[in-house]
Amino acid sequence: MMYNPPHPGMIIRELCLKPLGLSVSGAARALGVSRKALSELLNGHTSISPEMAIRLSIAFDTTPQSWLAQQMEFDLWKAGRNRNALKVERLKAA
């Protein structure tokens, strides 16, 4: 697992929107979502949903799986930072 992966919103902003010269408003219109919804994603306040992954895949000629994989990597890294604090017992076969 990647150490401290970027939030997928940052990837969208830096690798998809900036090279195309797209504003948040323009990209939101193209994706068929509100400016607020896209802004929250780009700023790391929300996650990529399966529907958004499909929208992104259509807009940028990628796969929805690639967007969801990036989100999963970020979420697992974030959750894993608290791994030692989890009170879980290892289960063993009898």
Identify whether 91 is part of a domain.
no
Q: What is the DSSP letter of 16?
A: I
More confident residue, 82 or 56: 56
Identify whether 34 is part of a domain.
yes
Identify whether 53 is part of a domain.
yes
Report how many domains make up the chain. Answer: 1
Identify whether 88 is part of a domain.
no
Cα 59 from Cα 87, distance rounded (Å): 43
- How high is the pLDDT of residue 94? 85
More confident residue, 74 or 4: 74
Among candidate residues 47, 45, 33, the one with its CA nearest the CA of residue 25: 33
CA 10 to chain centre: 8
Q: Is residue 2 pLDDT above 70, yes or no?
A: no
> What does the DSSP assignment read for 49-92?
PHHHHHHHHHHHT--HHHHHHHHHHHHHHHHHTTGGG---PPP-
More confident residue, 67 or 1: 67
Give residue 63's domain range. 8-81
Cα 10 from Cα 77, distance rounded (Å): 16
Q: What is the pTM of this model?
A: 0.88
Identify whether 76 is part of a domain.
yes
**Of the ranges 2-11, 44-53, 82-91, the best mean pLDDT one:** 44-53
Identify whether 94 is part of a domain.
no
CATH number for the domain that contains residue 45: 1.10.260.40
Contact 87, 22 (CB under 8 A): no
What is the rounded average pLDDT of the residues 62-76?
97
Identify whether 46 is part of a domain.
yes
What is the rounded average pLDDT of the residues 19-43?
98
pLDDT in tens, 51-61: 999 999 999 99
